[in-house]
Every structure is written in structure tokens, then in C-alpha cells.
Amino acid sequence: MFDALIWLVPALPILAAFAIGLGLLSGVIQGEKGEWLTARLALWAAGFSLTLMLLFALKSLLFGVPGQLVLTPWLTSGGVRLYLSFSLDTLGLSLGLLVSLLAWLTLRFAVNYMHREPGFHRFFLLLSLFDGAMLLIVLAGNAALAFVGWELAGVCSYLLIGYAMDRPTATLNATRAFVTNRIGDAGFLVAIFLGLAWLGGIEWPTFAFGAPQLDTLNAGLLALAFFLAAAAKSGALPFSPWIARALEGPTPSSAIFYGSLMVHAGVYLVIRLAPLFQQAPAVMALVALCGLLTALYGWLGGLVQTDVKSALMFSTTAQVGLMFFACGLGWFDIAALHLLAHASWRAYHFFNAPGLMHLTPDPLRPVPAWLTRYPGLYTAVLRRFWLDELAEVLLVRPTRSLAADVDNFDERVVTRIAGLPDPVGHLSSLAEWEARKQAGGDQVEGATGQARGLLGRLLEWFSEILYWFEERLVLKGSGEGLLGVIERLGRLVDLVEYLLGQPRYLLLLIMATLVVIL
């Protein structure tokens, strides 16, 4: 029965985040006086969740791991069933323990470190939320639940990179990180979709046991989609640049997000889905290659970084690359061990970053002489292999122009055909008035209510009828119900439009189309 309490582990920190949020909204928590309460809330919640994890670990040590634990059905729709389930195997438990420990320690670190910061409460709220999100990722029993954590962690990361909201660089980098992560999210969503379609469920064991039944191509597609998510989150090539730009936040958040926990989420996902990946040799090769290149990229990059945070970040990227490489070779256990060790060490390393100068009196050992014989390579490494520039040219700029085109199309074609009020058309300036006066036409036509274009006239006529209809039937009659329906319909349309406007849904749509065609 004790096992059923596992949901509390991620829920407690999330609840604490909500409590802090409520306190802030209601004004109970504010300013320096509120720091005590905020810190207590966050620390107690994280502490309880850590204690629970410790008990689970102890129990598992004594009586063996509980394994997959289904608490309750979550969603049922047609043949699709989603459960509130948790994976309490060695991987989940050990990572859960590490996450809750490091999160609690980070919170403790932040109590002193963030004292009197204007963003103190915001920081604790986000860190608590992140704690819960990471715990969801590593403990979730299925892809959907993990995805919830995945997204939450992403949002927290976005908000903490932009911690210094007044610095344009920080907000810009936050947005870049967020957008890059959306590519990975699309992969995750497609994978969930494919899992539901092909395996009938997205419980992790379903993937493990169902994978052998899939043919290589399907297994490959599924694994590829997951790997896309993993690579984006963990900053593997070609997504590496975002993570090096993500270091704008306070030191403790940089430590826990990019040094120690979130950066490993992608590796965790691949390890979690080891049986699936093993069914797809091509994807395994891709993982290995990508890992190897990432490791090289991180290692070379780390050699030339001069600011401490970037230097640590590149080193982290290199180690994460090695983990992917190990996964690609099928050494999932080694990758898992490496992950646990690296997360612990790097947290320590990052926390000490401000004092690195005083911890080590010696400069870093120079690179071997053979490396210095390639000045061109040096430039390439210093410029981070131009990945940022490439992304700018290949992704950002086309997207921007597309958006501008659409906007233009909207303004010039759609607006005119539809005869919508044109924001440019209406205004008048002194120059126009003068011209008009000189032309002798003192009489001015009222621009209001005058429609343009064929469609416009039609609409004008139509709207008069509607007006009549509204006057007579809707407002005067017992038209409450009708109004309500219209309103609700309108809102639905708005929602659909909004969702379609979101890149991830657009991407999802495109990918789904591709998959259907395949």
C-alpha cells in the first residue's frame, strides 16, 4: 500500500510551487519578509519528497524493486487507455533519489544565495516546479506522464534563463532555448502518437515488450522520434548551441538545469527505452554517431572557453555525448551509471563555479602541441562550428520571412478581399487635408461605415440583415440560448485557430501527415 504514495513524490514540490504562487498572488508572500515562508514551503516539500524517495529506496533494497505501478486509469477514449502509472525499477528509483536530493540541496543553497533578490520567490517557485517536473520525468510509468514533466521542466528552464528579464540577451537566449526545445517536443508528441497507434499504449513496459513485435522500420521511426526529443533536451548535436546560451540565469539554476539534472533527461529517455532502441539498429548507429560528435564538439569547445560557466557547460555536453555514444553501442547500463555519477559531480562543480579562481591556483593544463598546429580548427571551435549562424540562416530567418509573408498577405490580400477595416486606409494627415483643400473639395466624406471591395459590399448588405436579425430575434427575444451557443462556438473556433498557430501543433500536423503518407 505504501507504494501507492509514490505520486506524492513529484506532487509535493509541485504543490509547494502552487502554494508559493498563491501566496504571491494573495499578497501573503512578498518582499524580504516573505522569504522565510517561501523557503520553508519549498524546502519542506522537497524534503518530504526526498524522505519518501529514501524510504522507497530502502524498501526496494530490502524487499526488491516494485517495478511498474499502475495507480489509476487517467484517460480513456475509445481503445486508448492512459494510466497514472509509475516505473519504480532500479533506474527510476535511483534517478528519483538523485533528483530529489540534488533539488533539495539546490533549494538550500539558494536560501542564502538568493537572499534579497527581487526574483527570490519566483526562483523558489520555479525551482520547486522543476523539482516536481524532473521527478515526473524519471518516475513516470508512461510517456504521457513523462511528457507532462518534460514540458514543465522546459517552461521552468525558459523562465529561469530569462531570470534577468531586463537584459535583452537573457530573454533572447531564453526564447532561443524554448524554441529549440519545441523541436524536441514535437518528436516526443509524434512518438506518443505512434506508440498509441502501433502499440496501443504508451506505458514504458508496453514499449519494451511491444518493440519486438514491430518491424524494423516502425521501431526505427518510433525510436527516432524519441531520440529527437532526447537530443534536443540534452543538447546533443545539432541542438547543442541552445544549452551554451542558456547560462544567463542565477548560478544555482544553471547548476541544476544544465550542469546536473535537466541536461540528462534526454539520456534518461533513451536508457528508459533501451528495448525499443535495440530493435532499431539504424537509429542506434545514429545515436552513437550523434553522441560521438557531440562528445568531440563539447570537448573541443571546452578547451577554448574562457568563462567558467561556458567551460563547465561544454564539458557537460561532452560527457552527455559520451553517454549517448554508450547508448548507441548498446551499453545502456554503463550510460546509466555514467549519468548518475556525472550528475552528482557536475552539480558540485557548478556550485563552486564562482570560486573556481580561488579553488585552483593553477591555470588549466595546455592542450597537446599537435592540436595547436590547426589554427583553422581553433577558429572553428571558437565559433562553435558556426552552428548558431547555421541555425539562424536555415531556421530562424526562413521562419521569420514566412511569417512576414503571411502577414503581408493578410494585410494586402485578405484584408482587401474581406473588406475588413484597414488600419492604414483610414488615417488622415495634415498633408492630405492640405491637398484636399487645394483641390477645392472642402466637403469631406465620412470614412466610417464605408465598405470596400466586392466582398465588402456583400458583407455590408449581409450585415444589415444580421443586424436586423440580432435586434429582433436575439436581443429582444428569449435568445439567451442562441447567444450562448454562438459565443461558445466562437470560443472553440478561437481555440482551434490558436492551437493551429502554435508551431508545435503545426509541426505535429505536418509530421502526422508524413506518417500517414508513409
Partner 1 sequence: MSSSHASTLDIRAGIRLALAHFEHLLPGQAPIRDFVHHNTLHGFQHLPFPEALQAARELTGQYGYLPAERFRELFRQGRITRDDLARVLLEDPELAASLPLEAVPGHALRRVDLYLTTLLYPFPALTGCQLNWHIEELEVMSRFQEDVPREVRERLITAASHQGLAGEAEVIGDLWGACLQVLGLESFLVHPEEMLDLSPTQAEQMLSQIQTQAAEDEQRPESLVRHLMGQEATRQLQELLQRVGRDLTLGGLLRQLTGRDPMQELGPLLVRYLGAFLDQGVAAWHPETRANGFFAFWQASAAQDLGWLIQDLPEWRNHLESLPDDPLDSLIAELRRMGLPTELWVGYLERLCLEWPGWSGLFLWRHRHPGYQGAGFPVEMLDYLAVRLALERIFAQRLCAGLWGVEASLDMIRWYFRHHPAEFMVRLALYTSRLPEYLVNKAQRLVNRPGIPGREKDRAPWHRVAQLIWTWRRSPAADAGERRASETAPRADNPTEHRVFVSGWRLFRLAQHLALPGAAIRAMGREGAEELLAGLALMDDERSGFLWLQAYEHHYRDQIFQAVLANHGRGPWRERRQRPRAQLLFCMDDREEGIRRHLEEIAPEVETLGAAGFFGVAMNWLGLDDRQISALCPVVVTPAHEIREVARPGAETRRDQRAQRRRWRRWAANLLFQESRRNLLSTGLAMLPLAPAALAMLAAKLIAPLSTGRLVERWRQGYEPEVPSDVAIHAGERAAPASPEQPRLGFTESEQADRVQGLLRSIGLGSGFARLVVILGHGSSSQNNPHRAAYDCGACSGRHGGPNARVFAAMANRPEVRQALHQRGMAIPADTWFLGAFHNTGNEDLQWFDLDRMPQALQPDFDRLRQDLLAATHRSAQERCRKFASAPSRPGPEAALAHVAARAYDFSQARPELGHATNAAAFIGRRAMSRGLFFDRRVFLISYDPTQDPDGRILEAILLAAGPVGAGINLEYYFSTVNNDGYGCGTKVTHNLNGFFGVMEGTSSDLRTGLPRQMIEIHEPMRLQVLVEADTEILSTIYQRQPPLQELIGHGWLLLAAKDPERPLIQVFRPGRGWEPWTGSDAELPRVATSADWYAGSMDPLPPALIDPGAVADHV
The rounded distance, in Å, linking the Cα atoms of 317 and 298 is 5
CB of 501 to partner 1, least distance (A): 18
The rounded distance, in Å, linking the Cα atoms of 257 and 279 is 31
Nearer to partner 1, 77 or 306 (CB): 306
CB of 321 to partner 1, least distance (A): 9
CB of 121 to partner 1, least distance (A): 14
Nearer to partner 1, 167 or 457 (CB): 167
Residue 490, H or E segment:
helix 480-501
Residue that has been written with the C-alpha cell 539562424 in this structure:
392
Contact partners, residue 320, CB within 8 Å, separation at least 6: 234, 235, 236, 263, 264, 266, 267, 294, 298, 342
Nearer to partner 1, 200 or 441 (CB): 441
All three cell numbers of 276: 525499443
CB of 96 to partner 1, least distance (A): 15
CB of 456 to partner 1, least distance (A): 19
Nearer to partner 1, 83 or 130 (CB): 130
Nearer to partner 1, 175 or 372 (CB): 372
Compute the C-alpha angle 324/315/283, nearest 5°: 15
Nearer to partner 1, 3 or 392 (CB): 392
Nearer to partner 1, 228 or 322 (CB): 322
Nearer to partner 1, 79 or 446 (CB): 446
CB of 348 to partner 1, least distance (A): 4
- Long-range contacts of residues 117-123, Cβ cutoff 8 Å, at least 24 apart: 117/250, 119/163, 119/250, 120/35, 120/38, 121/20, 121/23, 121/24, 121/29, 121/30, 121/34, 121/35, 121/38, 122/159, 122/163, 123/160, 123/163, 123/250, 123/253
Q: Are 181 and 262 in contact (CB under 8 A)?
A: no
Nearer to partner 1, 81 or 108 (CB): 108
Cis? peptide before 238, omega within 30° of 0? yes
CB of 367 to partner 1, least distance (A): 4
Contact partners, residue 134, CB within 8 Å, separation at least 6: 99, 103, 149, 153, 261, 262, 265
Contact partners, residue 362, CB within 8 Å, separation at least 6: none
All three cell numbers of 470: 440580432
The rounded distance, in Å, linking the Cα atoms of 210 and 191 is 14
Nearer to partner 1, 142 or 251 (CB): 251
Q: DSSP characters for 429-486? A: -HHHHHHHHHTT-------TT---HHHHHHHHHHHHHHHHHIIIIIITTT-HHHHHHH
Measured in whole angstroms, the distance separating CA 205 from the mean position of its chain's CA atoms is 25
CB of 421 to partner 1, least distance (A): 11
Length of the chain: 518
Give me the residues paired with residue 83 across strands. 73
CB of 274 to partner 1, least distance (A): 19
CB of 214 to partner 1, least distance (A): 33
Torsion of CA 453, 455, 460, 462, to 10 degrees: 170
CB of 29 to partner 1, least distance (A): 16
Nearer to partner 1, 167 or 472 (CB): 167
Q: Are 20 and 121 in contact (CB under 8 A)?
A: yes
CB of 329 to partner 1, least distance (A): 14
Nearer to partner 1, 220 or 298 (CB): 298
Contact partners, residue 281, CB within 8 Å, separation at least 6: 216
